[in-house]
Amino acid sequence: MLLIEDLRVSIDGQEVLKGVSLEIKEGETFILFGPNGSGKTSLLMTLMGFANYTVTGGKITFRGHDITHAPIYERAKLGIGMSFQRPPTIHGLKTRHLVSMCAHHRQRDVDVEALARKVNFDQFLERDINAGFSGGEIKRSELLQLMAQKPSLLLFDEPESGVDLENMALIGNTVRELLNGSQEPKPDQSMKDLRAKRETSGLIITHTGYILDYIHADRGQVLHKGVLCCQANPRVILEHIGKFGYKECVRCLN
Amino acid sequence: MSELAGKPQGATQNIPQADVSRFAFSGKGAGIADIRSLTPEDKERLLMSGVDLDMAGRGGSYLQVDDKSVHCDTCDPNVEILDITEALRRYDGLPEYFWNAVKPDQDDFTRMAAREQLQGGYFMRAKAGMKIAEPVQSCLFIKGEAVAQNVHNIIVVEEGAELHVITGCATAHDQQSALHLGISEFYVKKGGKLTFTMIHNWGEKVMVRPRTVGVVEEDGEFQSNYVLLKPVESVQSYPSIYLNGPRAVARFNSVIVAPTGSLVDTGNRIYLNAPETRGEIISRTITTGGKIIARGHIIGSHVPAKGHLECKGLILGNGIIHAIPELEGTVSGVELSHEAAVGKIAQEEIEYLMARGLDEDEATSTIVRGFLNVEIMGLPEKLRQTIDKTIQESEKDMF
């Protein structure tokens, strides 16, 4: 699905990713840990193709296409979808309109109203996008847009930030559904079989790990000062960081 | 009405004095007898100005070409529509209304309008207590060459009545130069509501000098929608509304695009002249090479009263936007605020939409349309679509 090879990225001449290599397979969910300022968000922004993030070396391949220098919208059309942590307000652009454009650009026909009800957001469809939205509302709005896009690779920067407990369950379950499709056991298929059929991959940044209660995460790794290290089961990494902090990662790097 | 005299009126310092000697005030009209005999191109221009020549979905129409009224009737018995000359004759010169809100000595153009021969205009009156369901339309069309149009319009909304007037002002597609002088006086009586939507669709050599003043009595409401998307040589206007009765409300929405060569000096003024009055002025301007002076002035002289002014401008290309918001409180306790911004489209907004699959042009266009926000005007669907289409067409000059 996604292959990152020796990726080097600079912002205003400052190197923030120093040779990152990572592969995320079809149906796989990868969790990215790391202290503040380690380059996690930069990695996501680079994968999406934002102008400020200059690729100075390496290669990004998505579903066989070299997208290292592709414009943002081409990546979106190929199936990369991103949830923004602090999306901009666009005055005069109704949420409903944006959601239908999300679907349209992926050649999909969706019932915006029905999708919105799933994330308890139907009351917001006539509002200008992100105008005065709370933390939880931003998350639900981003998820709604992603549900309309139905990306095959989901980039999610801190799904739990600014979200209360009640909303966390809604958001967690929605992320799981986006990643897995519906995961109800069926008479003719075991959960294991269903999981094997997953096609959507995920790359999720988390600090708290709350999201791990809702999704099946396959692998995790720590990003530290622009370099990836410590590959393990995400739960193990989380427990380790909880106990010893990120210090141990630095030791392992050295 | 004595308080009208002596107040600041439309500033003219930034606009060249119109050289009016090249225009003729009479005798050079194109002599069109029936507006339906216009060429398809001219009809298209009228349509773009919100004028429906089939009169469908309209409570009545007043159509004028150059200096002659060519169509004037009403489909609704509760709204009266007359050629101004006929109204002056029938109502003994309309002493309560004619040159009452606008003063002849306001400036050079009002003096000129008062001096020169009157060349049409309309008188509209919504009868007391009557809510006129369909908008009434008026159209002032200039077809002849070097024509000066000197019109005088009066709208009266009697107590408790409601009226929406859609005015399309346009010049013929092959028309070269013209001068439009328009005096408009609005009278909204107790509890009445007037919505006045004006769409300007002039030409590159047309000078436009409207002079508009309205008076709103207690519990009355006035809403103005102004749309200018097409080239013009120069517009200079400063419609002013006096909220003279308690709880009266005025709201101005303007959407202005100035391409290269256009000079648009326009603003709105609201006098909060009674307790519990409210005024709001919202303008959205875009220059793609022209110069826009976006003014706004709210004067609060009674309490409690609230006024808010919002002028936002986008510079796409090499134009100039000069926002001049003014707030004037003359009594303690008045609440006036403003928000002004002149800038460019934020890269962050473009990239956000690109991440949803829109290419850069689509993203920019989506943001521009949201910025212009014509929806706020609450126009009839067909007119809104026409305006959207015009915006879409002018987008090719924007980016």
Asked if the model's pLDDT at residue B220 lies above 70, the reply is: yes
Asked if the model's pLDDT at residue B16 lies above 80, the reply is: no
Asked if the model's pLDDT at residue A161 lies above 80, the reply is: yes
Are B353 and A87 within 8 A, CB to CB?
no
Q: How far apart are the first and last CA of chain B?
A: 48
Q: What is the pTM of this model?
A: 0.86
Are B354 and A72 within 8 A, CB to CB?
yes
Q: How far apart are the CA of B295 and the nearest CA of chain A, in angstroms?
A: 22
Q: How far is CA A67 from CA A5, A29, A55, A104, A150, in A?
A: 12, 20, 11, 22, 19
Q: What is the pLDDT of residues A17-66, one digit of tens each?
A: 999 999 999 999 999 998 888 999 999 999 999 999 999 999 999 999 99
What's the whole-number average pLDDT of chain A?
90
Q: Which pLDDT belongs to residue B13?
A: 41
Report the distance separating Cα B233 and Cα B246, nearest Å.
Answer: 40
Q: Which pLDDT belongs to residue A185?
A: 60
Which chain A residue is nearest to residue B359, measuring alpha carbons? A73
Q: What is the ipTM of this complex?
A: 0.93
Asked if the model's pLDDT at residue A81 lies above 90, the reply is: yes
DSSP class of A203: E
Q: Which pLDDT belongs to residue B19?
A: 64
Q: Which of B169, B175, B237 is nearest to B205 (CA)?
A: B175
- Single-letter amino acid code for the residue at B182: G
Q: For residues B383 and A188, which has the higher predicted lDDT (pLDDT)?
A: B383
Rounded to 10°, the helix B360-372/B381-394 angle is 130
Among A77-81, A121-125, A212-216, B331-335, the least confident range: A212-216
Asked if the model's pLDDT at residue B145 lies above 90, the reply is: no
Reduced to 3 DSSP states, what percent helix, strand and coil does chain A have, rounded to the nearest 5? 35, 25, 35
Are A50 and B351 within 8 A, CB to CB?
yes
User: Can you tell me the mean pLDDT for B308-333?
Assistant: 95
Whether the CB of B344 is below 8 Å from some CB of chain A: the reply is no
Q: How far apart are the CA of B93 and the nearest CA of chain A, in angstroms?
A: 46
| Closest Cβ opposite residue B367 in set A82, A90, A149 | A90
Contacts of B363 in chain A (CB under 8 A): 73
Among A1-15, A22-36, A97-111, A193-207, the least confident range: A193-207
| Closest Cβ opposite residue B358 in set A84, A105, A128 | A105
Contacts of B366 in chain A (CB under 8 A): 90, 93, 101
Report the distance separating Cα A93 and Cα A128, nearest Å.
Answer: 5
Tokens for B261? Answer: 């060569």
Contacts of B348 in chain A (CB under 8 A): 88
Interface test with A, best of B310, B311, B354, B362 (most A CBs within 10 A): B354
Classify strands B320-329 and B205-216 as parallel, antiparallel or unpaired. Answer: unpaired
CATH 3.40.50.720 fits A2-79+153-253, yes or no: no
Q: At a CB cut-off of 8 Å and minimum separation 6, what does A206 contact?
A: A31, A32, A33, A158, A159, A160, A212
Whether the CB of B96 is below 8 Å from some CB of chain A: the reply is no
Q: How far apart are the CA of B171 and the nearest CA of chain A, in angstroms?
A: 31
- Conformation bin of residue A187: beta by default, left when phi > 0, alpha when psi is -120 to 50: alpha
Domain ranges, ordered by start, for chain A: 2-79+153-253, 83-150
Q: At a CB cut-off of 8 Å and minimum separation 6, what does A97 contact?
A: none
Domain ranges, ordered by start, for chain B: 21-227, 238-344, 347-399
Residues in chain A: 254
Q: Which of B84, B109, B166, B176 is nearest to B380 (CA)?
A: B166
Are B355 and A102 within 8 A, CB to CB?
no
Whether the CB of B99 is below 8 Å from some CB of chain A: the reply is no
DSSP string covering B245-292: STT-EEEEEEEEEEETT-EEEEEEEEEE-STTEEEEEEEEEEEEBSEE
Q: Which pLDDT belongs to residue B18?
A: 57
Q: Which pLDDT belongs to residue B376?
A: 86
Q: Which pLDDT belongs to residue B31?
A: 57
Q: What is the pLDDT of residues B100-139, one digit of tens each?
A: 999 999 998 999 899 888 888 999 999 999 999 999 999 8
Are B372 and A76 within 8 A, CB to CB?
no
Q: Which pLDDT belongs to residue B331?
A: 96
Q: Which pLDDT belongs to residue B2?
A: 36
Q: How far apart are the CA of A146 and the nearest CA of chain B, in angstroms?
A: 8
Tokens for A63? Answer: 């579903």
